[in-house]
A and B are shown apart, each in its own frame.
Chain A
Amino acid sequence: MLDFIARRLVAIIPVLAVVAIFVFLMLRLTPGDPAAVIAGDNATSDQIALIRAKLGLDLPIWQQFFIWIGDILRGNFGESFFFKKTVTELIAQRLEPTLALSICTLIVAVTTAVPLGVIAAYRHGSLLDRFVMGFSVLGFSLPSFVIGYCLIYIFAIDLGWLPVQGYTRIGVDFWAFLEHIILPSITLGIIYVALIARITRASVLEVLNEDYIRTARAKGLSNRVVLMRHALRNAAVPILTVIGIGIALLIGGAVVTESVFGLPGLGRLTVEAVLSRDFPTIQAVILMFSVVYVVINLLIDIGYTLFDPRIRY
């Protein structure tokens, strides 16, 4: 197992190298000059050229690339073109809201979707099953910003129960943190509830037709024990896979949800950096997301062994 983990970790290096080259070239080939954005609307061509030179953007692309790679290898991700802050500082500042949103979304999604999927499978063909499937279709079909604005209108503006926007750090005021994170988590969670509930239903349904389930029932085990100990555990591998994919997809979903609810997280940082062509920030954030993606996949692979003893690395 350790050998497997080591090999997978080493495999991150070429992945990151490819991502780094790709991101760097894509940004340089995309129209848009950070110096022009920095200088503002009233600046002249000469002033923009001077700013470009100060930022090192007048150097040949290959030279800019090697300077950047050299800095990364020394652990320096550079300084944002706009904020007088290092990219590492910026990411650290924005990490908590995204992490909180992702964790809360996963909690909402898994705690809702898995029981719904299991019950739908158990009550196969019933009204409840049809409701879960209908909800899944709706969850897939509705864009998260539509869900977000509807929830804001109902719970924040009309009922006034929860705040419209913003974020309070967990260490500052836990209750205010909860107030601010509930709606974004539900908004982002709905699509994952739909996704995980469908997969859970399908997997459990398949397992429920297996001989060993019939045997378990014949032994006189209760429905709860049959479902939880025998059916769900054997159906867990595809569910785990879809949760893993869901975590990776959360990165994309967070961009929209953070914008709708004004959460100052990495998703919004990415959008702002792309719009202003803040190359060092975009490059670092994408590299970080790549690492997260690879590590999550590794954790999922390791997780398989917990549920299915036949899987060995």
Chain B
Amino acid sequence: MEPTTMKRRTFGVLTTGALVAATGATKAADKKTLRFVQNGNLTILDPIWTTAYVTRNHGYFIYDTLFAMDEQNAIKPQMVDKYEVSTDKTLWTFTLRDGLEWHDGKPVTADDCIASVKRWGARDTMGQKLMDFVKEMKPVDAKTFTMQLKEPYGLVLDSLGKPSSNVPFMMPKAVADTDPFKQISSQIGSGPFIYVNAESKPGEKHVYVKNPKYKPRTDAASGLAGGKIVKVDRVEIIEMPDPQQQVNAIIAGEIDLIEQPPHDLLPVLKADKGVTLVNWNPLGQQFVIRFNHVQPPFNNPKVRLAGLYCMRQEDYLKATVGSPEFYKVSSAAFVAGTPNAFDAPNGMLIKPDFEKSKALLKEAGYDGTPVVLMQSTTLPVLTNTAPVTKALLEQGGFKVDMQSMDWQTLVTRRTKKDPPNQGGWNVFHTFSVAADILNPISCTYMAANGDKAWFGWPNDPEMEKLRDSYAKETDPAKAKELAHTVQNRALETAQYGWIGQWYGPGVARKNVTGWLKAPVPVMWNIDKA
């Protein structure tokens, strides 16, 4: 029995005996209920319609995937039992495991999977790339389907096992046939949990119960792969937007897990004997600085390069994360500790060279017009990035007009290609979960196809050629070399800046064990004593 419950009972005795009985009964009944607080409210329940991470997490509760990434970042079969690839590497055949069922009891079929891959392929950037290579997908029998490619593609498994937004979740065909730009209304999946619509109240809580018919793989759980064994009866996602309130609630034993509290509250949590910090996402996240390539002065590569010469990762990491325990200085675009990680030459992004920056600005003819730097004030982890950029750029010879706004205003304004004095912008910051940026295709910031590229709209045909070569390369060693070339090209053209890798541990009550190390907080394998 938790000490807080005892105290509350004492209070109950003082007020009314019935209160004691009611409280005690409630505690006994929810012994195997896991209460989890995520970063942000879960509002949209379609993980293909949005890239929001909370919705992706919801997807992992109720859906399953054909392939999944394990703890060593290797892609492993998940719903797929076996797969074959033809000798010319253009025909892939996938066979599903026996006994897979949707939550309504119907069997999972090849048709369902084809429809799901198509819907995901219409929305996700990596899916779109895969679909560019797919000639056709057709069922062979109820649990086997083929994917015929126009030419060999090196990222078939990486795409189908993509760990983060948008994840290629499998849905029943009737659901997956929904227009990819319309939200689905069904929550039927084949995953280890079932969503309880009747008990879920957006803004209050979302309820999931264990799927009794789920057939986990027999291999041990590892990352997002392996046997998804559910050890609790029920998981409740509690919507609690205030971080201080989250910390109070876990200390009081009212919730069991917090996805990622802000770094400034970690000392309070470390000092509490009832909770423990869990580094469930060992790859962490990466901060990014993005230039607008279509507006002066950053439409000039020399000015962008001058900007990159001002960067010093440690300044950002100290200002936002604080303790070195939770950050890593690394000039690898595709995340330190992964196969595509390479250090940038000459300590770029780590040691600034302000004189070089000033010289480049002079060469480029920078006229001293202030660059508009957008600062988000509502995402705590990003708030301090812009002031650091302002200080660094000013040391490198720039004039900076930092404009503060809420994140929603920023994400709207960044879509505008107009000049900064007409509602546009020059620079802003964001961050990505490392699992989203492990290679030149999944890393949105590397796309350089002009209007179709991510905000900032870099246009570099050479970069696109390199990314295509990477996508087509089926030899892992050559693919790695190409990833290195892509990173070098991004630095040469100063396409964007990766300005620090950081980690945000989760928090669990001491009686909660088994939180898997993965890029996504998943609730299978977790037990509560």
Contacts and interface: CB of A to CB of B under 8 A. Distances in A.
A42 B254 contact: no
Given A41-B51, A44-B453, A276 B43 contact: yes
Most chain-A CB neighbours within 10 Å: which of B245, B436, B457?
B245
21 contacts: A32-B408, A37-B411, A41-B52, A42-B165, A42-B444, A43-B51, A45-B415, A45-B451, A46-B452, A50-B181, A82-B44, A83-B43, A84-B45, A156-B252, A157-B251, A160-B252, A163-B252, A165-B240, A166-B249, A260-B245, A261-B245
Contact of B7 (A36, A43, A160, A173): A160
A198 interface: no
A152 interface: yes
Interface stretch (A4-12, A102-110, A117-125, A262-270): A262-270
B201 interface: yes
Interface of B: 3-8, 10-11, 16, 18-19, 22-23, 26, 41, 43-45, 49-52, 55, 123, 125, 165-166, 181-183, 185, 201-204, 238-242, 244-245, 248-249, 251-252, 254, 378, 405-406, 408-409, 411-413, 415, 430, 432, 436, 444, 451-455, 457
A275 B242 CA distance: 14
A175 B183 CA distance: 39
Interface size class of A (residues with CB under 8 A): 35 or more
A275 B407 CA distance: 9
Contacts of A42: 51, 125, 165-166, 432, 436, 444, 454
B203 A176 contact: no
A229 interface: no
A206 interface: no
B18 A175 contact: yes
Interface of A: 31-33, 36-48, 50-51, 54, 80, 82-85, 90, 93-94, 149, 152-153, 156-157, 159-167, 173, 175-176, 178-179, 259-262, 264, 268-269, 272, 275-277
Contacts, number: 160
A54 B8 contact: no
B430 A157 contact: no
B409 A179 contact: no
A23 B203 CA distance: 23
Given A84-B183, A264-B204, A44 B242 contact: no
B248 A38 contact: no
A51 to B, nearest CB: 6
Contacts of B52: 40-41
A164 B248 contact: yes
Contacts of B454: 42, 44
Which 5 residue pairs across A and B have the least CB separation, nearest first?
A: A160-B7, A40-B51, A264-B204, A161-B11, A33-B412
A116 B412 CA distance: 52
